[in-house]
Structures are given as structure tokens and as C-alpha cells.
Structure 1
Amino acid sequence: MDWMKNLNDVMNYIDDNLENEISHDRIAEIACCSIYNFQRLFSYVAQTSLSEYIRNRKLTLAAFDVIKGDEKIIDVALKYGYDSQDAFSRAFRNFHGVLPSTVRKEPVMLKSCPKLSFQISVTGGEKMNFQIVQWPAFKVAGISNRIKTDRAFELVPSIWDKAWKDGTMQKFINFFPDYRPAGFLGISVGGEWGNSEEMDYVLAVTSHVDVPECNPIPTPIGMEEFSYPAAMWVIINADGELPNAVQEVYQKFYTEWLPNSGYKLSDLPVMECYMQDNHQEVWIAIENASVFRTL
């Protein structure tokens, strides 16, 4: 799978439709993965969120239209998807630092967000320790939190902090079975096509793996059971101090490993496994692998 081509095709689609509705379903179709997975990939490759990139591209073109003066500001606002001149003016000022009406009156400095394009480059040379496994179906017991996707990095740490304070983590410790995926799990769920504004973040532990020697553990009161199908997973070692160790793994995976691997993302949650002594693993489901390998 040519991830670079898919990324650039999505960039072309976005730029061709900045004055129209940009369909998340169409982005997912072009990228050959769910919009949720594409948003994760894009954020690590581009170092900005997909929604922010689209907004900034629109405001870049809108600035040229405002400068030309051929259209009323309200018409420019509607052209780029804003319901009112006030909403457009606020967004314009947040990006450019000035109101569009000011641009019409006097010369000012404006910002520009150029169209992105991607290419593979050879960087770093640092190893990423991983293994690819065909893992059986499994179940976890835990608590789900509905959060805004674009605030995930801000909200997830507070979810863990609250769980330690309100006794949730102690419940996990009391009930803790020694099954893999191991440790305390942070599971990011949001794969439905077109539904990208919100996601579920699940704190959990594995309660059953679908193999004969594994006995299912009853779900504790106050928790939910979540089931995941048998799938192929790339399991990446993310040992080190948090949160940098895990964030570096995602950066390398999406920018270096995935584009060169020939695999594609499966529409399943992404899991982080937190164990003792700064030992972590990241589990990402993949498809169409022809060779199992361990580096």
C-alpha cells in the first residue's frame, strides 16, 4: 500500500474542495482506512490536526478574497463554510491576528498555510522494536469515557488522574488477571466512518483471551465488558518515561514504519499497555501482511 500516494491524494481532494463540503467518508475512501485512523496518522505526519489544517487552508484562501475586495465579507464567509460573518471574523482574527474588515482598510501582515505534500525521507536510523502477531479474540473490562477527538491529548491524562483518585485503578488492581494485552490498558476507539468529532477512551484490563487455557474473569460491578475480534496486530515496545516514550512510538510508526511496510491499518481501536518500571507497549491492528517479522 502506497501511503504517501494516499496522503497526497487526500491533500489534493481537500484543496479541490475548500469551497465545498469536504466529506470525511470520501477522505476515508481515498486513504483506504477509517477517518479516525486517518486523523491519527495525519496528526503525527503533519504535526497538526486534520480539522486545523483544513480550517487554516480555507482561511488562507479567504484572505486573498478579502484583499481582492470583489466580494462582500459575508459572501466570503459563506463561500468557505461559515454560517455568519461574525463566526468567520472570529476565525479569521484567530488565524491572521486581524479582522477581515481591517484588511479592507489598511495594509496588514497576514499568515499563510500552504498546501501540504508528502514524501518518504530517510531519517534517524533509530531502531523500533516490534513484533507482528495474529492474536485471538479477547475481552477487556473497564470504563469508557466519551471525549472530543481534537482534545484527546489534553483530556486523556485527566482521565487517568481521576481514575487513580476515585478508586477505579484500585478496582483494576484487585481484579487484575495476568492476561495479554497486559497491564493497564488505554484504548482509543473511534473507527466509524464519518464519525470523527468524538471518540471513546477506555481504561481497562484484559479479562479473557479466546484460547482453551484461559479462564474468563467476571466483569467487576460498575465496569463494562468490551470485545475485540481476532486480528493481526503490530506490537511496538514503548519503554521509557511517559508521555514521550509512547508519543515517539506513534511518530516513528506513522512517519517511518507504516509508509514502508506494505501493510494497511485495520479499523480497530489502538491500545496502549502500561506495565511496571516504565514498560509500555502500543498495539495497532493491521491488515494484508504477507510476512511476519521481528526486528
Structure 2
Amino acid sequence: MDWIKRINSTVDYIEENLDKEISYEKISKIAGCSVYNFQRMFSYIADKSLSEYIRSRRLTMAAFDVINSKEKIIDIAMKYGYESQDSFTRAFKNFHGVLPSKARKDIVKLKSCPKISFQITIKGEAYMNYQIEQWPSFTVSGFKHRIKTNEAFSFIPQIWDTAWKDGAMEQLMGLFTQADYRPAGFLGISAGGKWGESEKMDYYIAVTRYVDDPQCKRVKPLEGMSTFEFPKATWAIFEANGELPDAVQQVYKKFYTEWLPNSGYELDDLPVIESYMQDNRQEVWIAVVKANDK
């Protein structure tokens, strides 16, 4: 329940600042997770990106100002974050289908995006196969890419495509054959993007090379690889078997909209891990803590 309250608090913050600067750092701080994870979470819950939602709400409110006030169009444009009247006019026409000048003069149909409100839902349409595990600290190594947080959704598929072409995956396979520890397979890890440093984040394509267990032997990374160390934590591990990317995306959607609000857990402040194995087998590792322990 507290998690739902925090998500709704972020929406309230957005609503209160539609005519001011909206800080993604502030949003992530209210939500208690990184900017990237909140953007991803929001898109799965709302079925639209955070930036699209903010833009739609601003253009909805801007339309009210256009038809109900005598403010200059340029002043309304500036009020809602547009640098020029031309850019505002283009955005307004794309959203509403008419120019703001015509909306002011004539009776026209305008589009409205209402404020979103999140509630707990219990659908039970399909099972989610998962397990909760107390997992020791572990180390992953691979190739790190520094990317802009707001471009992550488009850049990450390109990173994987390039890795298959430039030999990076062959090097990771060499490391994987020596280690073969859980989290298994090739790992996709989004790290960083927290408040205070939200503009950029690191994305790793990696493999697990050491787990803090007496029977585990530490494997050295290859030259040029970067390393990330995870502390001991509680992980909710979900099966995401099936065709990509739909199988993994469905797990995220059900996790954020059904599992997490009803689980008694909250998100821990650790990167989410996507584990890609053979034969369309995948796992999504999400660190969690008991709601009353956070």
C-alpha cells in the first residue's frame, strides 16, 4: 500500500508542477527508486511513457488556457515548457488536431488526458512463476556502456545487437564457460540513474563470475571488462520464458501492477537483472525488502 501511495505522490508532484520545471530527480526520490526504473515502471503501469504522460497533461491544461484566458499564445507556450511559439504550435496541433489560434477563435473538438491515479488490482488472469531467495553477495563482469537515461529504451536493444556483431558475446561466452553461476546466462543490468545523477546511467552486458559461497571459485574477468558487485539481498526471481521481448515485458507489467502492490514487499535500491539463457528461457531478478523493514 505504501508503494502505491508513493507512486500516486509522484503523480501529485507532476500535477502541481505542470506549469513549472518538473525534476526527474525529485520524481525518483519520491518513488524511492532510480529514474530509469521509475520510467520503466510507469510505462508498464500506465501503458504510456512518463515523458508522454507529462507532455499530454501539459497540452491538456494548455488548451484550457488557450480557450478560457486572454493570455498570449507565446506566454502559454513558455508557461508549459516550450521554448518557442512555433514548437508549442506544432505540439498542440499534433495532440489536439488543430492550431491553438483556431481553438481560441472557433468551437472545435480538443483532446484531453486526465490525471492518472493508481490503485491496487487483483486480476489473477495468469500465474506468475517466481521464488523469493536470500542470495549472497555476487560479482558480475562484462561490458559497460554509459548512456543517457532518457534514451535508454532505444539504446539498449542497439547495445545487444552490436555485442553480437563485434565479438563481445564470444568473450562473455568464454567467461561464462568458466563460471556458470547464478544469476545464470547473459545478464542485462541497468545501474545508476539515481537522484542527484539521473541524466546518465550504466548498462552492463555481463555474466556472473563469483558468488560469495565456500564452494565457488573466483574467475578472473577478461581484459577490458568492467565489474559490478551486488551485496547480499533478497531477490524475487520470476520466470520469463517465451519469445522476446514480450515474455520479459509481460513479467514487468504483472510485477508492477499485480504482484508488488499485493506482496507485502517493496523495491530495494539495487539494479534489476535480466537473465537470458538458452531456448527462450529468461529470468527477471528484482531485489525486494519487506515493507515494514524499509
Give the distance between the partners of 1:14 and 1:289, measured in 2 at CA: 25
Residue 92 (structure 2) pairs with residue 108 (structure 1): no
Contact 1:35 1:194 in 2 (8 A): no
Percent of pairs with identical residues: 63
Q: Which amino acid counterpart does residue 238 of structure 1 have in structure 2?
A: A
C-alpha spacing 1:43/1:190, structure 2 compared with 1 (3 Å): farther
User: Hey, what does 1:162 align to over in structure 2?
Assistant: 162
Q: What SS class does the counterpart of residue 4 from structure 1 fall into?
A: helix
CA distance in 1, matches of 2:284, 2:56: 31
- Partner of 1:70, secondary structure, is coil
* SS of equivalent to 1:142: strand
Give the drift of 1:220: 0.7
| Residue number among 273, 276, 280 corresponding to 1:271 in the alignment | 273
2:64: which partner in 1? 64
Off by >6 Å, runs of 4+ in structure 1: none
Equivalent position of 1:93 in the other structure: 93
User: CA distance change for structure 1 residues 11 and 43 in 2, over 3 Å: closer, same or farther?
Assistant: same
* Partner SS, residue 92 of structure 1: helix
Which TM-score applies when normalising by structure 1?
0.90
- Taking the aligned partners of 1:27 and 1:149, their CA distance within structure 2 comes to 14
| 1:39 and 2:43 matched | no
Query: Which amino acid in structure 2 is aligned with residue 50 of structure 1?
Result: L
Match of 1:223 among 222, 225, 228: 225
Counterpart of 1:81? 81
Paired letter, 1:14: I
* Displacement of 1:276: 1.1
**Which residue of 250, 253, 262 maps to 1:251?**
253
Code of the residue aligned with 2:195 in structure 1: it is W
Kept in 2: contact 1:24–1:194 (CA 8 A):
no
Select which of 184, 187, 205 maps to 2:186. 184
RMSD of aligned residue pairs (Cα, Å): 2.1
CA contact under 8 A between 1:191 and 1:267: conserved in structure 2?
A: no
Give secondary structure in 1 for the equivalent of 2:132: strand
**Is 2:202 the partner of 1:200?**
yes
Change (3 A) 1:136 1:216: same
- What's 1:213 paired with? 215
Q: What runs of 5+ residues in structure 1 fail to find an aligned partner?
A: none
Q: Secondary structure at the match of 1:121?
A: coil
Shift of 1:47: 0.9
Contact conserved, 2:241 with 2:281, CA < 8 A, in 1?
A: yes
Moved more, 226-235 or 190-199: 190-199
Greater Cα offset, 227-236 or 143-152: 143-152
Q: Distance in 2 between matches of 1:268 and 1:43?
A: 19
In structure 2, relative to structure 1, the CA distance for the partners of 1:199 and 1:89 (3 Å cut) is farther
Q: Any conservation in 2 of the 1:131–1:235 contact (CA below 8 Å)?
A: yes
Kept in 1: contact 2:185–2:276 (CA 8 A): yes
Indicate the SS of the match to 1:89. helix
Q: Which moved more, 1:90-99 or 1:175-184?
A: 90-99
Counterparts of 1:196 and 1:90, CA distance in 2: 29
Letter in 1 for 2:3: W
In structure 2, do the counterparts of structure 1 residues 175 and 268 end up closer, same or farther at CA, with 3 Å as the change threshold? same
Task: After TM superposition, give the deviation of residue 161 of structure 1 in Å.
Answer: 1.6
The one-letter amino acid of 2:26's match is R
- Please give the alpha-carbon distance, in whole angstroms, between the structure 2 residues aligned to 1:211 and 1:93: 60
Q: Which amino acid aligns with 1:137?
A: S
Mapped partners of 2:156, 2:133: distance in 1: 27
- The alpha-carbon deviation at position 137 of structure 1 amounts to 1.6
Between the two proteins, the alignment pairs up a number of residues equal to 291
1:236 match:
238
SS of 1:252 mapped into structure 2: helix
Other structure's SS at 1:188 match: strand
Q: CA deviation at 1:140?
A: 1.2
Deviation, 1:105, is: 4.2
Q: In 1, are the aligned partners of 2:140 and 2:229 still within 8 Å (CA)?
A: yes
AA matched with 1:170: E
Query: 2:28 touches 2:194 (CA, 8 Å); kept in 1?
Result: no
Q: Residues 233 and 154 from structure 1, CA distance in 2 versus in 1: closer, same or farther, beyond 3 angstroms?
A: same
In 2, distance between residues paired with 1:63 and 1:195? 34
Distance 2:150 2:26 in 1: 20
